[in-house]
């Protein structure tokens, strides 16, 4: 399975951000002892880039017949070659084919944003050197993949053992073990196809296969919707079922599959309302620990409840938040931005990573925002911090952020192991390259609340 992720690693103890007054310390001090949990320890395996340890990564039942929403166009079947989906079980793959699979993923997707020395010719020679001999054991195959990836000189591109890869389920946005990709048609329309599948996940057990097109969720036609929208529709309470209509291949049968949800993520959001300035100002405090599959939904709930409770300012605490899902960072940024505002610019070898991402709806809240950051605020957290800062929606308070502007994808190999590969990079709305630089905060200590409003107003006036 392929999942889009942001950076993570083993952090030192959380830094304490002092508050200038005893009143605001209620908002800031209570979380000083929080320690960020590793992303299942999978994203920092074996990577020590100095002392202290550095960040390692950012990073996509019964079967019943259902009447189709009309027959597929004849042109689709004539013009598109039928997709041949090879189903290889974990026990069937050879050691040599496993190594070659990892080599091909890098060959197709890797972006050399660190050393800038990768070439197709060099990588082809690497394949010829490796595949010239017989690989006797699976552990030997895994070790070859580790060395092969290490030769790229990218600290974020690395191997995951089957046990380590299994822990990545907390980043499954769908809750049923699939990754959706938007595939353009010749006529400009978009198909939603399964281009990532957990082999032991609930969708696979129900009959979903690589390359299937998703047509409906619980009877609602989803054609024309984005992958993120449909992933959100697929989510639900753990153990409940969702019915999806899929078309196998380009011209294959259409089936309705009942899939039991299996969401393993825990809420990363903590929130409360604080009264400051002798009760004259209500501050909605929100702590976001990581960008997992529940981050967007739970943060929306927190924002709505705090707004209903009368919050006139918001504090978004991203200290010690090492990242997670890139898409979650992007969608959370949109919750605060005006429609049409730039969230981030992305670049990569594949066209899907060459984008200008903009907010596509009105903001959920318009009150002034303070974003708390430190030197362990990284990746998806830096996407949010820079998007809100550069669009005059938030002031940044704390320490310079870590500085990881790279995007990784996590790919499952056919024996249940996986590889994390750098596939893209991003720059801020103000065209700043975060990677290796970080983001400098506006203040090291929390300013007066009225000063926050004035600074954001001046920023908006200068941009206008």
Q: Which pair of tokens denotes residue 354?
A: 């060459």
Contact 348, 425 (CB under 8 A): yes
Contact 362, 338 (CB under 8 A): yes
Instruction: Tell me how far apart the alpha carbons of residues 262 and 275 are, in angstroms, rounded to a whole number.
Output: 39
**C-alpha neighbours within 13 Å on the C-beta side of residue 47:** 26
Residue recorded with tokens 């007054």: 21
Distance of CA 70 to the CA centre of its chain: 34
Instruction: Tell me how far apart the alpha carbons of residues 263 and 293 are, in angstroms, rounded to a whole number.
Output: 8
Phi, psi (degrees; rounded to nearest 5) at 190? -115, 130
Closest CA to 319 of 256, 376, 263: 376
Active-site amino acid positions: 379, 404
Say if strands 369-373 and 313-317 run parallel, antiparallel, or are unpaired. Answer: parallel
Q: Which pair of tokens denotes residue 205?
A: 């057990």
Instruction: Tell me how far apart the alpha carbons of residues 83 and 245 are, in angstroms, rounded to a whole number.
Output: 18
């Amino acid at each position: 399975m392929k999942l889009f992720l942001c950076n993570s690693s083993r952090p030192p103890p959380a830094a304490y951000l002092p508050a200038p007054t005893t009143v605001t310390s209620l908002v800031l001090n209570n979380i000083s002892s929080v320690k960020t949990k590793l992303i299942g320890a999978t994203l920092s395996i074996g990577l020590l880039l100095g002392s202290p340890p550095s960040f390692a990564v950012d990073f996509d039942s019964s079967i019943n017949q259902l009447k189709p929403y009309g027959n597929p166009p004849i042109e689709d079947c004539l013009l598109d070659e039928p997709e041949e989906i090879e189903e290889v079980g974990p026990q069937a793959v050879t050691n040599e084919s496993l190594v070659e699979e990892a080599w091909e993923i890098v060959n197709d997707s890797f972006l050399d944003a660190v050393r800038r020395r990768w070439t197709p010719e060099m990588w082809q020679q690497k394949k010829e050197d490796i595949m010239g001999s017989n690989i006797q054991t699976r552990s030997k195959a895994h070790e070859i993949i580790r060395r092969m990836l290490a030769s790229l000189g990218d600290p974020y591109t690395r191997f995951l053992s089957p046990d380590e890869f299994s822990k990545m389920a907390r980043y499954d946005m769908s809750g049923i073990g699939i990754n959706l990709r938007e595939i353009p048609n010749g006529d400009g329309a978009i198909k939603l196809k399964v281009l990532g599948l957990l082999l032991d996940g609930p969708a696979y057990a129900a009959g979903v296969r690589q390359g299937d097109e998703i047509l409906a969720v619980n009877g609602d036609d989803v054609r024309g919707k984005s992958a993120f929208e449909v992933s959100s529709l697929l989510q639900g309470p753990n153990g409940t079922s969702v019915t999806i209509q899929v078309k196998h291949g380009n011209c294959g049968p259409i089936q309705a599959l009942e899939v039991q949800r299996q969401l393993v993520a825990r809420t990363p959001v903590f929130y409360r309302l604080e009264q400051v300035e002798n009760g004259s100002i209500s501050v909605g405090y929100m702590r976001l620990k990581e960008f997992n599959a529940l981050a967007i939904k739970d943060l929306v709930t927190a924002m709505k409840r705090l707004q209903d409770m009368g919050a006139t300012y918001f504090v978004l605490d991203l200290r010690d938040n090492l990242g997670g899902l890139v898409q979650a960072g992007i969608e959370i940024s949109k919750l605060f931005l005006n429609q049409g505002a730039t969230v981030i610019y992305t670049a990569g070898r594949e066209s899907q990573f060459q984008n200008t991402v903009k907010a596509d709806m009105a903001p959920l809240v318009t009150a002034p925002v303070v974003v708390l950051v430190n030197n362990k605020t990284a990746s998806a957290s830096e996407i949010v911090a820079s998007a809100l800062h550069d669009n005059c929606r938030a002031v940044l308070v704390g320490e310079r952020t870590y500085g990881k502007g790279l995007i990784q994808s996590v790919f499952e190999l056919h024996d249940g192991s996986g590889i994390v590969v750098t596939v893209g990079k991003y720059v801020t709305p103000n065209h700043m390259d975060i990677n290796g630089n970080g983001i400098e905060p506006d203040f090291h200590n929390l300013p007066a609340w009225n000063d926050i409003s004035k600074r954001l107003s001046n920023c908006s006036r200068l941009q206008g």
